[in-house]
A and B are shown apart, each in its own frame.
Chain A
Amino acid sequence: MSTTIPAGMREMTYREAAREGLHEALTRDERVFLMGEDVGRYGGSYAVSLGFLEEFGPERIRDTPLSESAFVGAGIGAAIGGMRPIVEVMTVNFSLLAADQIINTAATYLHMSGGQINVPLVIRMATGGGLQLAAQHSHSLENLYAHVPGLKVLTPATVEDVRGMLATALADPDPVLIFEHILLYNRKGLLAADAGAVDIHRARIRRAGTQVSLITYGGSLWKCLEAAELLEQQGIDAEVLDLRTLRPLDDEAIMATVTRTRRVVIVDEGWRSGGISAEITARIHEQAFYELDVPVQRVCAAEVPIPYAKQLEDAALPQVADIVAAAGRLVKGND
């Protein structure tokens, strides 16, 4: 399949876009440095920083020991000390070993110090399943962090966002966590030649529709867009809202789509119990209950640790067919 690339646009993978964002950040600001496990010689566990060690040197591309708590905490201290660190944690699963630093320190210092000590730290990590990596490498725990005041939680799904959100995060005076879904790295997208920093406070409609809203983020965005195509073949006009940021949530955009379509399916690779889908459901209930024609539906990960075997993993994660079925039920059941 060869589509023509519109003028002024470039085609690149999510990995390349992430890499460009990092490269630009390192080039622009001497205070910026990257640290984490295998970001240097290995080139990054998802090959995002390949070649950076040679270009920027070991002071600014720092391979760390396997010490999530120490190097995330060191990021906090370095940020307080005047640097602009970007800390890479291989995956969100391992970030739990640094949860103390992220939740007890990074998220609290500004408030606990009465507004004196802000922590301009950016932490990037991979999230999500789909590569048969089983229960300790596949979970979507971003909503644990979205629970915590003091943090900002970004979930770029597009090449534009993964490139541009980093710049915005670095300009932010407070700790920002960026979650990159592992299935997105090889995905191609179009990027404007002059792409730059992007807003991080607004959700975005990726496909306009009138009959049902698919509310999602990150890796699930593409499943939702695919589902919307299939729904169209069934005569159902679905809207797809990409949350982009899980904290703070863009309530306005959520309520606007609810008001437009009156039917909602929330799609999240996290578990439904206590997850971001539960939070969004509650907010719709609080703010737009009477706009709904039917109860909110959710397509989330099954309530199991994500298993290894392909058929089990597929069954555990939200799939396009599940989204189509859920949206179809909402629309047809109501007709």
Chain B
Amino acid sequence: MNEMAVPLPDDIDGAHALELFRQMLRIRRFEEKCAQMYSSGKIRGFLHLYIGEEAVGTGVMQSVAPRDAVVATYREHGHALLRGISMNAVMAEMYGKQEGCSRGRGGSMHLFDKATGFIGGNAIVGGGMPVAVGYALAAKMQQNGAVAWCIFGEGAMAEGEFHESMNLAALWQLPVVFCCENNYYAMGTALDRSESQIQLVEKARSYRVVAEEVDGMDVLATEAAARRAADSARAGNGPYFLEFQTYRFRAHSMFDAERYRSKNEVHEHELQGPLRTFGARLEASSLLDEQRRAELEADIAREIENAVAFAESGTPEPVSELGRFVYSEVQP
């Protein structure tokens, strides 16, 4: 496929590398299906695709431990699947069904799962950051070793909540890993049109937080960086900031006409896409071939078809249930 691809390091665990590829492919294909279901009117509201950025979530999630919490944004389908929410529950949520992971009350932007510590799905830019800091505070006070993973786009770094959260996490030395997914655009606003300081790591360092720039298109790099961050946070060294440099291949949401960037620019980045480059490296290392690829694709396609069927046959939450969960059902 790509003769220029650099083989993977000799000491790589081949099975693990292939698994990383499979995980990225799984969320890519899932979201392609979502886009299709959106066009056919099955999914409504806002739908923000992660296509192009899969190496970030995939690498990061390898270091997320069972007791950790993940606080993400509205662009969180990939993270939710990687964290272990079933594809059925995610697809059913997008369909607004009772079997959805938020019982159809959240939709694409508000996937939640208490069992896996997936604390949303927050669609207020910057809004999840203080929550992640608080979760880390609870972890530190209870000394339970949990880490809070706070995932956000670079656009959020202009919000006050970023600065307040960064300061508080650093001041109190809390186990938070701040994962900035820098795809260079906040809707249509390019980074250099919104930030006076585009070296994002400098912002984190100004709070005396350890910060790294990471190639967000290379899943091995994202995985290694997340492991360093997790080790540091778990060792009690306070928060850690990772800037993952990546790119969004699709529109911001399904409503975006993409007037702010050229097709050519997108295409250039697609050539460096995480699946394309990593797939080529796996092939160069003889870990992947046409047949293996076809098997992976077939397995994933089956899972997706099942998820669609599950969502289709799901129960619309009865309107009589509308008022539930405004307050807890068990009151003291």
Asked if A and B bind, the verdict is: yes
Q: How far is the CB of B241 from the nearest CB of chain A, in Å?
A: 16
On chain A, the residues within 8 Å of B139 by CB distance are: 81
Determine whether the beta carbon of B135 is less than 8 Å from that of A78. Answer: yes
- List which A36-83 residues lie within 8 A (CB) of chain B: 59, 64-65, 67, 69-83
Q: How far is the CB of A85 from the nearest CB of chain B, in Å?
A: 8
Bound CA span A171–B146, Å: 25
Determine whether the beta carbon of B138 is less than 8 Å from that of A76. Answer: no
Residue of A nearest to B69 (CB): A81
Q: Which one, A102-110, A236-244, A291-299, A314-322, is touching chain B?
A: A102-110
Determine whether the beta carbon of B131 is less than 8 Å from that of A73. Answer: yes
Q: Which one, B27-35, B105-113, B189-197, is touching chain A?
A: B105-113
Residue B222 CB within 8 A of the other chain: no
- List which B157-174 residues lie within 8 A (CB) of chain A: 160-161, 164-165, 167-168, 171
Interface residues on B, range: 35 or more
Residue of A nearest to B161 (CB): A69
Bound CA span A33–B139, Å: 14
Interface centre among A72, A82, A85 (most CB of B within 10 A): A82
Given known pairs A65-B167, A115-B329, A117-B112, the reply for A70 and B161 (CB within 8 Å) is yes
Determine whether the beta carbon of B141 is less than 8 Å from that of A174. Answer: no
Given known pairs A117-B119, A150-B326, the reply for A79 and B134 (CB within 8 Å) is yes
On chain B, the residues within 8 Å of A115 by CB distance are: 103, 324-325, 329
Residue of A nearest to B322 (CB): A111
- List which A124-168 residues lie within 8 A (CB) of chain B: 149-150, 152, 168
- List which A93-120 residues lie within 8 A (CB) of chain B: 100-101, 104-105, 109-118
Determine whether the beta carbon of B100 is less than 8 Å from that of A114. Answer: yes
Given known pairs A100-B161, A114-B102, A150-B327, the reply for A76 and B120 (CB within 8 Å) is no
- List which B116-156 residues lie within 8 A (CB) of chain A: 119-122, 124, 127, 129-139, 141-142, 146, 148
Determine whether the beta carbon of A112 is less than 8 Å from that of B106. Answer: yes
Residue A305 CB within 8 A of the other chain: no
On chain B, the residues within 8 Å of A111 by CB distance are: 105, 325-326
Determine whether the beta carbon of B148 is less than 8 Å from that of A112. Answer: no
Q: How far is the CB of A62 from the nearest CB of chain B, in Å?
A: 8
Bound CA span A178–B258, Å: 46
Determine whether the beta carbon of A65 is less than 8 Å from that of B127. Answer: no
Determine whether the beta carbon of A112 is less than 8 Å from that of B133. Answer: no
Determine whether the beta carbon of B326 is less than 8 Å from that of A110. Answer: yes
Q: Mark B302-320, 1 if CB is under 8 A from A, else 0.
A: 0000000000000000000
Question: Can you give 18 A-B contacts (C-beta < 8 A)?
Answer: A70-B133, A73-B129, A74-B134, A77-B130, A77-B131, A77-B135, A78-B134, A100-B161, A105-B127, A110-B326, A110-B327, A110-B328, A111-B105, A111-B325, A112-B112, A115-B324, A117-B112, A174-B328
Q: A113-B110, A117-B112 are in contact. List 4 more A-B contacts (CB 8 A).
A: A77-B71, A110-B328, A113-B106, A173-B332
